[in-house]
Amino acid sequence: MKSLSLKRLVQKKEVHVLLQDTILSLGVSITIQDEDRQWIWGTPLELSQPEYPIQVAGRVLGWAGGDEKAAAIASLLSYLAKQELEKKTLANETLERYKEINLLYEISGKISTCLDVQAIANLVLDEARRLIAATSGSLMLFNEESQSLQIIAAFGIDSPSKMLMKLGEGIAGNVLLSENAEVVNGVQYDSRFLPGPHPVHSLICAPMKTKSRVLGTINISHADPIQYSAADLKLVTALASQAASAIENALLHEYKLKEERIKSKLERYLAPQIVKAIIESQSEIALETGKRNIAVLFSDIRNFTTKCEELVPEEIVAYLNEYFSQMVDVIFTHEGTVNKFVGDMIVSMFGAPNKLVDSERKAIETAIAMQQRLRNFPGDWIRENFITGIGISSGEVIVGNIGSPQHMDYTAIGDQVNVASRLQSIAQGGQILVSRSIYDLTQELFDFKEVGFVKVKGKKTKVEIFEVIY
């Protein structure tokens, strides 16, 4: 506004010509002075002649003097000044918008490739500090679990990580709730303000919003009594928007990495389709401890101790790893879960952690496939020496995370687990023995040979056993 000069306006060629023609047509003598009473048109007037203000937006730019027709000249120049002001305003807005876009483009370029939340927070605060006068600032993230804001990056504040703010607490907590950015000049007079160890007079607080949620806030403050403007608020809001997008991408990247690590670990024990089901599950219900009807398969290499004496430990481990890889592949292919390896023994479950239709049938199919895989094993030594006996039983057992706070195992506990173990212990090489519970549910699907009631270790009563013919 101050740059709008009546003298420069009058000296513009088109205005000068228009003014000259108008005065000539009116047939009067007109004088024009600027706001500093400098003559810019005509000669000094007699004191008795009236003056008419030339003004725009409440500011007097000068005066037109002469007879009553000078009022028309004052109105004409006021109108032209208004047009000139609108042009300048539009040009300034365009320039500011260009600067803003250019600024955001630069910041976006810096943080778009960054996938570290802490680094993004530091970058955003550095930019804010460079652009806006501030003695302190912070970037706070909202923690869903604790329902509080926590500072993850700051300048001008000591020990920021210890500072927590509940939802709806303080100015930042309220901005998070309202999702509206605020300028608070004279912070000490705001009832929401929570005084800290550092003096604060003026504050800008902007929420970091994405399409689906508010991630936190950016807070820029000054200890001295400065007045933050709407333009400052707009700038911090734009920074907050950029930060929200970048931080959400970074959090998503962190989640994906975590998911991949969990998936990698789970896939050592569970079939890929079960891992997928667990990861996509919205709760941990699948791993909760509870009663479950499952089938349990025990497989063990006959005379393994004797075989170990023939080889150095490194060779034994190499053969075992090769053997386990093939057997686990068979178990996973049939949707089983590897519960544990105990020496050369494999314990697997069918029906946990995810329910499995026909778990008994799946267990027998797995046992047959394991025996057939061994008979056709590509390595001569393993094919000739790793002869396994397999025992399978089924029924209601306790399944879930069992152990101590220091160490938990996902496993099964129950009588049918013990029965399967005992059947495995008495199975001959290449033999698959099953309990009555397995036989009853699969007798129409497989061929069996009745072994009869057998006394097994740890059981008071004899166990009825059947052999799978394959």
Domains annotated for the chain, with CATH where assigned, are 6-91 (no CATH), 114-254 (3.30.450.40), 285-469 (3.30.70.1230)
Mutual orientation of helices 13-26 and 70-111 as an angle, nearest 10°? 160
Contact criterion met (CB below 8 Å) for 218 and 240? yes
Q: How far apart are CA 82 and CA 57, in angstroms?
A: 8
Peptide bond preceding 353: is omega within 30 degrees of 0, i.e. cis?
A: yes
Q: How far is CA 100 from the centre of its chain?
A: 27
pTM for this entry = 0.53
Average pLDDT of the chain is 88
**In the predicted structure, residue 163 carries a pLDDT above the cut 70:** no
383, 365 contact by CB (below 8 A): no
Q: Which residues, in sequence order, are CB contacts of 118 under 8 Å at separation 6+?
A: 152, 153
What are the DSSP calls for 327-351, one per residue?
A: HHHHHHHTT-EEEEEETTEEEEEES
Rg (CA), the chain: 42
- H or E element, residue 296: strand 290-301
Residue 285 — very low, low, confident or very high, per pLDDT cuts 50/70/90? very low
- pLDDT at site 161: 56
Closest by alpha carbon to 65, among 42, 87, 35, 95? 42
Distance CA 18, CA 92 (A): 27
- In this predicted structure, the answer to whether residue 86 has a pLDDT above a threshold of 80 is yes
The pLDDT of residue 308 is above 90: no
| Range 408-416 average pLDDT | 85
Tokens coding 73: 């000249």
- For residue 69, what are the CA distances in angstroms to 14, 22, 49, 52, 80? 21, 11, 11, 10, 17
Q: Enter the DSSP assignment of 352.
A: S
pLDDT in tens, 27-40: 888 899 999 989 89
The answer to whether residue 45 scores a pLDDT higher than 80 is no
Measured over the CA atoms of residue 352, residue 353, residue 358 and residue 362, the dihedral's sign is: negative
- Averaged pLDDT for residues 342-361: 91
Are 81 and 56 in contact, with CB atoms under 8 Å apart?
yes
